[in-house]
Amino acid sequence: MLSYLASLLNADRRLHEAVANHAHTPDEAVALLSRSTSDSALLDLITINQQRLIRSPAIIEAILANPARSAETERRVKETQREFFEKERGARQIADELRAQGKAAAAEFFEAAELATPAGPMSVDDAWLIAQHIEVSDADVDDSWMAREMIEGMLAETLEQTAANAQGVINAERLEGAQIPPERISLIRRIMFMTVKDRVKLALKGDREARGILIRDSNKVVATGVIHNPRLTDHEVENIAAMRTISDEVLRLIGMNRAWARSYPIIHNLVRNPRTPLATSIQILPRIRSKDLKSLSQNRNISEGVRRQAYRLSELRGPTG
């Protein structure tokens, strides 16, 4: 019945408006109405339902083919077309090219990426560059660790927060004494201006360079994602355990990992790091060698609680402990 009413060219305008607004009107009927009406206000009304336009591109084509459309209607429809269809086609083409290069994981990431950030749409070049740093496929990722209470960390960021986060990562690398080449600063900014959701994906699936950037992310969900990346090496963890510009949650998780806890360089770096939670350091101290305990007891860079416990253990072991 709704399709029939939409096909009545001489029907009252109010009837056509009711048909266009009805949720059960078939998309094909709305496309027919968009093509045949001479009422520009009706066309404008149809374009307001963006969800229907995205679901049925034929409606967009019908509106653009109708000479009765207003300039505002044309602008709105073309904007929807660019945002949801041209971008989608471009993403598919790039994903196909990545697969042809044997980079299936990068193709998966590119297809699922949200090509929009607080600063505006991510360019195709930026998305391509970031996809090159993906090395883990969806099948190898375990995201069961992401508990519900961590979802609050996935909330949208303001442009100011994103910019501050990006600058914080750059400053952290500079504090470690290394000269940062301009191309790396550019990569950091491109990555940090991704959405939180895409940064988590990159943390879980990215290569060493991406991991080195995102481990310093101020969003603990993103930084924690790096710890759950299946390609993370013991050498990387050893370096992370020594970093003084990362989340204490990351250091706590390293201390809880049984495999990493068997590595002396890792646990030694953890207890020497003032960012490591006190409980984690106290738990590790009994496994620290006597000569290192003595050094820790005199280390003014760590908390007094850790120094005291290191001194007690050192005294209990005696000179030959």
Rounded Cα gap, residues 297 and 276, in angstroms: 16
Q: Which of 85, 106, 121 is the last residue of a domain?
A: 85
- Do 184 and 247 reside in the same domain of the chain? no
pLDDT at residue 97 in the model? 76
- Do 226 and 241 reside in the same domain of the chain? no
- Do 227 and 148 reside in the same domain of the chain? yes
In a domain, 163, yes or no: yes
- Do 258 and 221 reside in the same domain of the chain? no
Nearest partner of 210 among 236, 188, 183, judged by Cα: 188
- Do 206 and 254 reside in the same domain of the chain? no
In a domain, 6, yes or no: yes
In a domain, 249, yes or no: yes
In a domain, 19, yes or no: yes
Q: What Cα–Cα distance (Å) separates residue 241 from each residue in 8, 126, 168, 190, 246? A: 72, 31, 19, 26, 9
Q: Which of 187, 211, 231 is the last residue of a domain?
A: 231
pLDDT at residue 148 in the model? 60
Q: Find the DSSP H helices in 82-229.
A: 87-100, 104-112, 124-131, 159-175, 182-192, 196-205, 208-214, 220-227
Rounded Cα gap, residues 315 and 308, in angstroms: 11
In a domain, 99, yes or no: no
pLDDT at residue 287 in the model? 94
Q: Can you tell me whether residue 117 is helix, strand or coil?
A: strand
Q: What is the pLDDT along the chain (321 residues), one digit of tens a residue?
A: 988 888 888 888 889 889 888 888 888 989 999 899 988 998 988 988 877 887 788 898 899 999 999 999 888 888 877 766 655 565 677 777 778 878 888 888 777 766 555 555 566 667 778 888 998 888 888 877 776 656 666 667 888 889 999 999 999 988 877 688 888 898 999 899 888 888 998 999 999 999 999 999 999 999 999 999 999 999 999 999 999 989 999 999 999 999 999 999 999 999 999 999 999 999 999 999 999 999 999 999 999 999 999 999 999 887 654
pTM (2 decimals)?
0.67
Q: Which of 231, 254, 284 is the last residue of a domain?
A: 231
pLDDT at residue 321 in the model? 45
In a domain, 119, yes or no: no
- Do 256 and 278 reside in the same domain of the chain? yes
Measure CA 282 to chain center: 34
Please give the tally of structural domains in the chain: 3
* Identity of the amino acid at 145: W
- Do 192 and 144 reside in the same domain of the chain? yes
pLDDT at residue 90 in the model? 59
- Do 225 and 254 reside in the same domain of the chain? no
Rounded Cα gap, residues 199 and 202, in angstroms: 5
State which residues form the domain around 181. 132-231
In a domain, 120, yes or no: no
Q: Are 101 and 82 spatial neighbours (Cβ–Cβ below 8 Å)?
A: no
In a domain, 58, yes or no: yes
- Do 163 and 252 reside in the same domain of the chain? no
- Do 136 and 218 reside in the same domain of the chain? yes
